[in-house]
Amino acid sequence: MKKLMIQPNRFLRLLLPLFLLLLAVGGTPEKAVSATREVVDMAGRRMRVPAVIRRVYTGKPGSVVLYAVAPDMMVSRGLWTTDGSEQFMLDSYMKLPFVDGSTEEIIRLRPDVIIYWFNIDQKSIDDANRLSAKTGIPVFMVDMNMEHYARSFGVLGDLLGRKAQTDKMSGFLNTYLARIVTSAKRIPESRKVRVYYAEGGRGLNTDPSGSFHSQVLDLCGGVNVARVDAISGKGMSPVSMEQLLLWNPDVILVWTGMGPALTTWRAIMADSAWSRIAAVRNHRIYQIPNQPFGWFDRPPSTNRILGAVWVAQILYPDIYHFDLERITKEYFTIFYHRDLTDAELQEVLHPLHSAAGQQGQVAK
């Protein structure tokens, strides 16, 4: 019987189509065309990102929302923490390198994508484009405006493949913040509470209505008494005691300052000039909770959702009947991946008592 002989060149020609078919079906993940996908961020910018994102970098405000969505994807931390706040954070997060966000540091961290969490306008778009050009890494913009949080969460869930988690976040948002915003719009002007947001070491800095630093107050239906020019970016417009006395607010909210140290609160309470203000005389001055981050602002991120519940309850207890203890526990479970004990709950809700206990003093 004669053996069938196939020439080597002909044999290769027969194998080539099969080899190409295998590449199209499976192939090497790193080189396959399907390893990337096109996405559109909230500024309408198109870009290609890995099909499966595993490593993400974000700046200071974005760290809180990314921690809520996907703490395991974070390549760094950029938020200042204290001994008091660190107990509420995951050990894996605390082990991440702390960076200030320089281009060199970002490149060294090798993220698949950069989340740019900020108000979207032409300046922030230009900044995102420059950052992407410098790093060679796609920069995905997400709107930090609280009124757009529902869409922001959905976009992040789709981008990072964490829709189950962002659905939980949106559920909390729709249950509480949406209700606050709807009810606030019905409050008559004559019933609205006049509020001063005290910032800075002595409380003589603030942010006016319209600033993202004071957006919680706007959404809750409070009247921001500050009539000052907003300072772009960092905020904290300076005011004088004379201005403050003329404004004479019904309520004063004290920022978190240096966390549990509560330096601003102590400075205000030690200054007799403040006692001439109606809010102080009537004991309607409140220290904003600060664990693990300030609930009102700084960073202007998802921590403001719980802050809105707290502020609404203080300003209009006859309108909002929230079970703040239960809601706080629910928020920490969803957004911080942390189930609070009853003792921890009291610590985060009552910063003045906590600070007094830490220093062996009696809180005023």
- Measured between alpha carbons, how far is 302 from 77 in angstroms, rounded to an integer? 16
pLDDT range class, residue 340, cuts 50, 70, 90: very high
Indicate the pLDDT class of residue 134, thresholds 50, 70 and 90. very high
* Tally of domains within the chain: 2
The pLDDT of 353-361, averaged and rounded, is: 55
Query: What pLDDT is recorded for position 65?
Result: 97
Contact residues for 157 (Cβ-Cβ < 8 A; gap 6+): 69, 163, 164, 165, 166, 167
Confidence of residue 347 (pLDDT cuts 50, 70, 90): very high
Does position 83 have pLDDT exceeding 90, yes or no? no
The answer on 272 and 294 residing in a single domain is: yes
Q: Dihedral of CA 133/57/255/170: which sign?
A: positive
**Residues 275 and 329 placed together within one structural domain of the fold:** yes
Contact 173, 147 (CB under 8 A): no
Residues 231 and 161 in one domain: no
Mean pLDDT of 64-68: 97
Q: Is residue 24 part of a domain?
A: no
Indicate whether 147 and 286 sit together in one domain: no
**pLDDT for residue 360:** 44
Proportion of the chain above pLDDT 70, given as a percent: 87
pTM: 0.87
pLDDT digits (tens, 9 = 90+) for 140-186: 999 999 999 999 999 999 999 999 999 999 999 999 999 999 999 99
Question: Residue 295: is its pLDDT beyond 50?
Answer: yes
Query: Which among 176, 209, 224 is the end of a domain?
Result: 176
Place 25 in a pLDDT band, splitting at 50, 70 and 90. very low
197 and 164 inside one domain: no
From start to end of 22-134, where are the E strands?
36-40, 46-50, 56-58, 113-118
Task: Report yes or no on 94 lying in a domain.
Answer: yes
Rounded CA separation 162/155 (Å): 10
Same domain, 153 and 285: no
pLDDT for res 194: 98
Question: Is the Cα dihedral 254, 224, 192, 222 positive or negative?
Answer: negative
202 belongs to a structural domain: yes
Decide which of 124, 146, 176 is a domain's last residue: 176
Q: Is there a single domain that holds both residue 198 and residue 140?
A: no
For residues 194 and 166, state if they share a domain. no
Q: What is the mean pLDDT of residues 66-80?
A: 94
Does residue 72 lie in a domain region? yes
Mean pLDDT (the chain, rounded):
89
How far apart, in whole angstroms, are the C-alpha atoms of residue 305 and residue 311?
10
Q: Which range of residues forms the domain containing residue 43?
A: 33-176
CATH of the domain at 48: 3.40.50.1980
Q: 140 and 199 share a domain? A: no
Considering the domain architecture, whether residues 196 and 66 belong to the same structural domain is answered as: no
DSSP-derived secondary structure letter, 147: G
- What one-character DSSP code corresponds to residue 193? P
Same domain, 243 and 100: no
Choice between 27 and 337, residue whose per-residue pLDDT is larger? 337
Condensed to tens digits (0 to 9), the pLDDT of residues 218-240 reads: 999 999 999 999 998 789 999 99
User: Among 42-51, 79-88, 222-231, 244-253, where is mean pLDDT lowest?
Assistant: 79-88
Report the amino acid identity of residue 323. D
pLDDT score, position 27: 46
The pLDDT assigned to 362 comes to 36
Minimum mean pLDDT among 77-81, 228-232, 261-265, 294-298: which range? Answer: 77-81
Q: Is residue 214 part of a domain?
A: yes
Asked if residues 119 and 144 have their Cβ atoms less than 8 Å apart, the reply is: yes
Closest among 304, 278, 319, 317 to 194, alpha carbons compared = 278
- Residue 13's pLDDT band, with cuts at 50, 70 and 90, is low
Quick one: pLDDT at residue 349? 97
Whether residue 116 is contained in a domain is answered as yes
Which of the listed residues 176, 208, 240 is the one where a domain comes to its end?
A: 176
Lowest mean pLDDT, pick from 1-15, 27-41, 248-262, 307-321: 1-15
Query: Picking from 5-9, 45-49, 349-353, which range would have the lowest pLDDT averaged per residue?
Result: 5-9
**278 and 193, same structural domain?**
yes
Inside any domain, residue 270: yes
Residue 45 located in a structural domain: yes
Contact 295, 304 (CB under 8 A): yes
